[in-house]
Each structure stands twice: as structure tokens, then as C-alpha cells.
Amino acid sequence: MFSKILIANRGEIACRVIDTCRRIGVSTVAVYSDADRTARHVAMADEAVHIGGSAPKDSYLRGDAIIAAAKATGARAIHPGYGFLSENPDFVDAVEKAGLVFIGPSSSAIRAMGLKDAAKKLMEEAGVPVVPGYHGDNQDPEHLAGAAEAIGYPVLIKAVAGGGGKGMRLVEREKEFANALDSARGEAQTAFGNPAVLIEKYIEKPRHIEVQVFGDGKRAVHLFERDCSLQRRHQKVIEEAPAPGMTEEMRAAMGQAAVRAAEAIGYRGAGTVEFIVDASEGLRPDRFWFMEMNTRLQVEHPVTEAITGVDLVEWQLRVTSGEPLTSRQEDLHLNGHAFEARLYAEDVPAGFLPATGTLTHLHFPEVARADTGVRAGDTISPWYDPMIAKIIVHGPTRAIALSKLAAALEETEVAGSVTNLSFLNALARHEGFRAGDVDTGLIARELVALTEAAAPSLAVRALAALGAAGLAEGGGAMTGFTLWQPLRRTVTLDGLGAVVEALAPGRARVTIGDETADCALRNDVWWVNDRPSGARIVLTPATVSIFGPGAYHFGLIDPLARQSAGMASGVTVSPMPGLVKAVYVRAGEHVSAGDRLAVLEAMKMEHTLTATRDGTVAEVLVEAGAQVEAGAALVRLEEEAAA
Ligand code: ADP
């Protein structure tokens, strides 16, 4: 076993790797960027090395700086986590050339799976079922159109170098094919510098089921499947293991196919073979097809750990330090059911917009495993993925595990940033999900209900108003030496105006528009209109947060700030730090409310900024290519003529 390793990553995965290292007596070296000087992973590691600026390209993607840090600290091996350099075969080669060990597969295994067309070809040869389609070299548009016709519509065009859904187009009819091909190629060229595509049969209402594999370079085993069908724009939201409705026959077929895939490339370490499944007639062994293999530890690996009792990071360290894989397939057993929910700093009603903020208050549930890279007081910065934590639960049955997930989410508290907690809560209670009736389109179809269910109830709004009025503790019988006094106050919160009347200690009436809420504090529980709310009120300098069930944040409004924002309403500002990708308007041009002004790329997503009113552009203050701070003025409209 290694005595010391370096972790070339940050956030929750760096912390999770350090956890295992501590348990098995391996020393750890963290690396960090400017933005991460005081991050949790830096505090947890035995040593830490600063490797550069906040932008990933200046730090976590700098293979040379990372290798130098390992050599300087005497670390023998490098764990890449996921993302960043984890699937970069050139980095693997450089690590090995420097005489160090890469805790992951060989560069040739990564290369074999790097391009979708080559990977599909390889899998076909290894006898692994692949999605029916064309993945040949002939990129002539006529030939591709002919291939689509032969496969039968609807078809999916995919960039062979694709990832993150880029360069992917669904084509329903023949006459749409030529245009879709053009735009898929254009996007693929921009994103990956490679315009080549493949054509696949489009599976309707598919499920995403993936198999965890583990190899020592010679032999591989599988650690059962995970169902990751709950996705939003191809991003996983809640994952579970095993897959609901899985049969022994189908599990054996998928597991064997995944092991064949891993052994075909001499796979070493933890990997995931992703399959797309047509479950329109239940799970059938002839209805799953290889999509791609991820040659690294996956974000959702904890659900597999929960049902198998295996620590996958420990296994990674053992095989890469030279131990053979000791477990045989028949030694591995599946126990119970597990779920993982990804808790993000994001604004769900605003279209899942990534958010930032300082986490003034943070509480994770006792009943769950919480994998996190942050502590209370830490900041979710705009530089990296805005994940706050993964909440993982395990139970003897799916129903029990799902109830535990709902309870764990209810117990989770984050203030200081908006989060997707209410959305996760609604999802954990969704009937179809409860019944195990999942597919990759579920969230998109149910989006309105799932976000509406997350809208704050009267009780939540009333308690927020109480918090803003300073009555979160019920007002107490005495405040210092002053006796309790009746009070009537108008409070204004972001999106909420209310009148709060304190009637007696621990009793108040809140009026919001034409709704009234009688609030009473009984044995530390707030009752609203004679029902226990189960909610907790948490005050931070800038917000009132209400937790359980769901999480709601109301900004405490400074009336002066609002007025000045109103006066400057002709100025479009950057909502977060980012890169200006495009500017669509010029000075003197007339725009209508809703017209796009510019596109900002921030936190791995593109955000279109639109005009908030009609007007004439007075000034364009940035150019495409500029890096801007949050709040930077981008476009100014001429003052509106006074009415
Ligand atoms: P990327 O590498 O760009 O993320 P994938 O090939 O992994 O693309 O596919 C991403 C997602 O797109 C899958 O999880 C699935 O939801 C959907 N998808 C992929 N292939 C198909 C298909 N043939 N039919 C229907 N949906 C598909």
C-alpha cells in the first residue's frame, strides 16, 4: 500500500478520498487554487500545495503543477477523483513518465473508451449489445441520411467526441435530418474540435441503468447496477441501487456484458458501463444497449458502496498499489436499497440557474451519509460545480430507503444560498418515483408539478414574516429587563409583504394579502392555523430561511437598495462572474423586452441575458471574450422618457 498519495481534485470527492486514506493509514496531499485556500479538503489533508489561480485551467487542470506537487511532497501516487484530469490519457502518461502511479485505468483503456464510435465498435466486437445505429467513418451527409432511414425514425445524432449532451440532436422526421445534422456538427466542432457524428435509434421513455465494474488489469467483477433515470437535461439528480424492477435474469445479462466490456480493455480500477434500457414492456434481457464507459470513479458511487459494503476508494488504492483483485463475483452480495440525492446551490424556479453564496448555516441529517466539500461559513464560488453535498441513505427495502431519503432531505438545512432542496423533497415524494416508474423524461414531464409543490405554503410565508419581525423565538415572556409588549409591524421580504401582530408571548397573527395565519409556539413547535408546521426558522444576516419540509429563503430587503436598483433598471448586469460569449446588440439599436442582449458562460452553463423592457441601446459596455465580475454592467438602455 502507498504511504502517501496526492489528490488532484477538490470539493466533496477530494474529502471522500481523504476519508478512506485516513481510515487505512495513508497520508494525503491536497492541491488547491486561489479560491480554495481555506477549503475543507485543504483543511482535511495532511499537507496541501497551492497550484495556481481559481480558474480550473490555471490549477486543477494543470497536470505539470500537480505532478510537481506530488514529487515535492514525496507522494507516490495520484488520485484524480472525477472530472478535471480524471479521464485525460495524456495526464496518465505524464504521471507514469514521472515515475508515479495513476490511481485509475491505463491511458490506453481511457483512449479506447474516449470516442463514442470507436468504443461502440470495440464493444460490438466484445459481444456487448450496442444501440442499433451507424457508427462508421463515412460522414457524407447523404450517406448519414440513408443510415438514419435504414435505422428508422426517430433517431439521435451524437457527436463521437461528445459529452454533457453537446452535439446531440433528436430527429423525428426525415425532412428535419439535414438541418439537425448541420447544427449537431457545428456544435461538435465548437465544443470538441471534431465534427464527426454517429446515428442511433432513439429509444422512447428510456431508463439509464449503469453497472459498476472493478478490475485489476486482468480480471474484472461487477458490483451490480445503479438506476440514474432521474435526470434533468442529462444531469443526474437522484440515483439509486439496485434498479427498481430489476430481474435476476436481466441483472446477470447486464453484469456479464459490463464485465466483458471491462476485460476487453484490460481495465484496472473502478469504472462504470452505462446502458440505455427500453423498459416500455418491463425490464427484458434483450432490451439494453451499451452507451458509454466512464473510466473513473463516478459521482454516484456511494449507492453501490451502501448496497455492497465495499469501499471503492480502498479497492482503487489496493489494486493500483499492486494487489490483485481478491473478490470473485460470487463473493459479492447485494444488500437492501440505497438512494443518493445531489444537493446543489441552484435556483430551481429560475430554470436551475447555478447560484453562489456563503453558507451561513449548514446542517446535515443524522440518518444519512453526507459527502460534502463544504462547512458552515464556506463559500460556493462561481468557479466550480455548485454541488453542496450528496445525501445518501440505505434501507432494507426500496420503500424504507425512500422514506429515509425524504426524512433526510427534510432534516437538511442550508442557508446563505438558494438550493434545490425543495425540488428534491418534492421529487422524493413523487408518486411515480415512489412506484419505481422512472424514465429519463420524468423530471421534464413533471417539472411544473415538482416546482409548484416546492412553492412556499402560507405557513412557510407566515413563519418567514415572524422571523423578519424578530419573533422567531416567540418573542419570549421577557426581553432583557423589558416586559413583553404587543407589536404591530409591516415586514417586507423578497417576494413577500406581511403585517405581523404580536398578540401575546408566543402568539402572533400574520396577514399576507387576504390570507391570515394564526401562529402559536407550543413546546418549541410553531403551530399555524391550528396545525403543527414542523418548520424551523433560521435567521442569517441577509435572509430568513424556513426548513422542513422543504427549504425556503426570503431575502431581507433593504428598501434603499431596491430603489436604486429600480432606478438603474435600464442597465443589464452580469448575475455572476463569467465569460461573455456573445453580444447581440449595438448602440443605437432598438430592443423589445425579452430580446437577447448577450450570452454569459458561467459555471459550465450558458446564460442568455435579455432586455427587461423595450428601449434603445445607449451603450454596450463589454465585448465578446471579456471576463466579467458579478454585477458588472453589460448593456445600458437609454432612459425612458418621462410619462
Ligand atoms: P453525453 O456523453 O453527451 O452525456 P450520452 O451518450 O451519455 O451523451 O447520453 C446522455 C443521455 O442522453 C442519456 O443518459 C440518455 O438520457 C439520453 N440518450 C442517449 N442515447 C439515447 C438514445 N439512443 N435514445 C434515447 N435517449 C438517449
Q: From residue 595, how far is each of 138, 349, 588 by CA, in Å? A: 40, 20, 15
Report the top-level CATH class of 132-201.
alpha beta
Instruction: State the closest ligand 1 atom to the C-alpha of 440, by its place in the atom list counted from 1.
Output: 16
In this structure, how many other beta carbons lie within 10 angstroms of the beta carbon of residue 527?
17
User: Strand locations in 189-336, DSSP E?
Assistant: 197-201, 206-216, 220-232, 235-241, 268-278, 288-294
Which sequence spans correspond to the domains of the chain? Answer: 4-103, 117-131+207-335, 132-201, 343-453, 458-555, 571-637
Ligand 1, atom 11: closest residue by C-alpha: 234
Catalytic residue (one of 16, 40, 296, 318):
296
Ligand 1, atom 4: closest residue by C-alpha: 164
Q: How far apart are the first and last CA of the chain?
A: 77
Distance 571 CA to ligand 1 centre (A): 39
Distance 200 CA to ligand 1 centre (A): 10
Q: Decide: 206 and 440 in contact? Cβ < 8 Å.
A: yes
* The domain made up of 343-453 is a member of CATH 3.40.50.280: no
pLDDT at 246: 97
Is 434 catalytic? The answer is: no
Residue 341: beta bridge partners?
238, 391
Q: Decide: 96 and 77 in contact? Cβ < 8 Å.
A: no
Condensed to tens digits (0 to 9), the pLDDT of residues 427-483 reads 999 999 999 999 999 999 999 999 887 788 999 999 999 998 888 887 655 444 555
Q: Which value, to the nearest 10 degrees, does the dihedral of the CA atoms of residues 390, 161, 227, 18 take? A: -30
Distance 161 CA to ligand 1 centre (A): 13
d(CA 489, CA 466): 10
Distance 202 CA to ligand 1 centre (A): 9
Closest C-alpha to 273, from 331, 202, 341, 209: 209
pLDDT at 103: 98
Distance 457 CA to ligand 1 centre (A): 37
pLDDT at 613: 83
Ligand 1, atom 23: closest residue by C-alpha: 202
d(CA 381, CA 577): 9
Please state the pTM of the whole predicted model. 0.83
- Assign domain 117-131+207-335 one CATH number from 3.30.70.890, 3.40.50.2000, 3.30.450.20, 3.30.470.20: 3.30.470.20
Distance 428 CA to ligand 1 centre (A): 24
Instruction: State the closest ligand 1 atom to the C-alpha of 162, by its place in the atom list counted from 1.
Output: 3
Closest C-alpha to 605, from 402, 355, 415: 355
The number of helix segments (H) and strand segments (E) in the chain equals 18, 42
Ligand 1, atom 17: closest residue by C-alpha: 234
Q: Decide: 527 and 533 in contact? Cβ < 8 Å.
A: yes
**Matching fold, domains 117-131+207-335 and 132-201:** no
pLDDT at 456: 87
pLDDT at 556: 77
- Assign domain 4-103 one CATH number from 3.30.70.260, 3.40.50.20, 3.40.50.1820, 3.40.50.300: 3.40.50.20
Mind giving me the DSSP string for 333-368? ---SEEEEEEEE-EETTTTSEE--EE-SEEE--TTS
- From 151, 237, 276, the mutation candidate for ligand 1 (largest count of ligand atoms within 8 A of CB) is 276
Give CA angle at 540 (535, 545), nearest 5°: 25
d(CA 54, CA 22): 27
Give the 3-state secondary structure percentages of the chain, helix then strand then coil, rounded to 5. 30, 35, 40
- Assign domain 571-637 one CATH number from 1.10.3720.10, 2.40.50.100, 1.25.40.390, 2.40.30.10: 2.40.50.100
- From 155, 234, 236, 439, the mutation candidate for ligand 1 (largest count of ligand atoms within 8 A of CB) is 234
Q: From residue 106, how far is each of 215, 275, 294, 483 by CA, in Å? A: 11, 23, 13, 73
Residues of the chain with pLDDT under 70: 475-484, 557-569, 603-605, 630, 641-643
d(CA 251, CA 229): 17
Q: Could you identify the residue written with the cell 461573455? A: 580
pLDDT at 205: 87
pLDDT at 565: 40
Q: Which value, to the nearest 10 degrees, does the dihedral of the CA atoms of residues 525, 426, 414, 465 take? A: -50
Question: Which residues have any ligand 1 atom within 6 Å of their CB?
Answer: 131, 156, 158, 162-165, 168, 200-203, 206, 208, 231, 234, 276, 291-292, 440
